Amino acid sequence: MTVQPLANGFCFGEGARWFEGLVWFSDMLGEAVHTVTLQGEMSTLALPGHAPSGLGFRPDGTLLIASTKTRQILAYDGETVSALADLTDLVPADLGDMVVDAHGRAYIGSQAREGGVIVALDPDGRATVMAEDLSFPNGMVISPDGTFIVAESTARRLTAFTVADSGALHDRRVFADGLDGPPDGLAVDAEGGVWAAMTLAHQFERITGGGTTALVTDRIDMAGRTAIACALGGPEGRTLFLLSSTDAYPERLIGTRLSTLDAVSVDVPAP
């Protein structure tokens, strides 16, 4: 696999998504959301006063943005940004990553190292805690068979849930344990394989559910850079977009512009 540079010059990229021919991602320390074309042209949505992280799109195209420290969910309709929900009373720590299901329901992680939770925000505005006692819940995906998978960074594992028709998460179980490093952002492919950013291992790995032992089918070495987040997309769904930085701890990168967005072709496409 050959990693190709696509864009740089931003502070700390997170929450990568592919939508309508563009790569979207948060610049958490740069208080912005960026979009990048396949030719590397970058545009910026400024979010002063917010440190954005998780992103997700509702079926109507509305972009949802997790504002980490304000613990709010923002909505961007293509013209204006508005506060959609305040989750402060439901969460024990700052917000992190997000995934939005086909019904427009958003799942948002609150990144406590112990006692982390996942909150579901329904299209009608109702917010409910759906999972508790997680170890720094980070990247989240919903696989083609409907399995909900979350990265527990400090536990170095991927945890799976079954999603009820109501959106509730139940039947908690281990998807993959004993990972090579703390997992951050996730992306899922058409076969249910999960690409995970392995921060301190400096690589991206494709993992299939193996329970107590992670089954790694592919590795992408980042030459010492910290793997942060990834997304599957491109014209045929076979491009894996990679966000990386020079440090796993954002506070050490304030004022820098050392994060990069790269791309690599993979065999199994997006769902």
Which residues are documented as binding site?
14, 114, 138, 184
Could you give the dihedral angle defined by the CA atoms of residues 100, 134, 90 and 72, in that order, rounded to the nearest 10 degrees?
-50
User: Could you give the CA distance from residue 270 to residue 155 in angstroms, rounded to a whole number?
Assistant: 27
Q: Which residues are annotated as a binding site for substrate?
A: 114
Task: Report the 10 Å Cβ neighbour count for 83.
Answer: 12
The CA distances from residue 16 to 32, 65, 156, 232, in Å, are 13, 12, 21, 9
- Side-chain-facing half-sphere of 233: CA atoms under 13 Å: 18
Detail the residues annotated as belonging to a binding site for a divalent metal cation.
14, 138, 184
DSSP track, 153-222: TTTTEEEEEEEPTTS-EEEEEEEE-S-SS-EEEEEE-TTS-EEEEETTTTEEEEEE--BTS-EEEEEEE-
pLDDT of 261 reads 98
Per the residue annotation, which of 184, 218, 221, 262 is the catalytic one? 184
The pLDDT value recorded for residue 248 is 79
Q: Is 184 a catalytic residue?
A: yes
How far apart (Å, rounded) are the C-alpha atoms in residues 260 and 17?
A: 15
Amino acid at 86: D
Query: How does pLDDT run across 99-158, given as a tens digit for each residue?
Result: 999 999 999 999 999 999 999 999 999 999 999 999 999 999 999 999 999 999 999 999
pTM value is 0.96
For range 255-268, the mean pLDDT: 94
Question: Domains in the chain, please, with CATH?
Answer: 4-265 (2.120.10.30)
Return the number of other C-beta atoms located less than 10 Å from residue 35's C-beta: 18
Q: What burial letters (b/e) apply to 97-134, b meaning 16+ CB within 10 Å?
A: bbbbbeebbbbbbbbbeeebbbbbbeeeeebeebbeeb
Contact 84, 74 (CB under 8 A): yes
* Cα distance between residue 266 and residue 239, in whole Å: 6
Tens of pLDDT, residues 20-75: 999 999 999 999 999 999 999 999 999 999 999 999 999 999 999 999 999 999 99
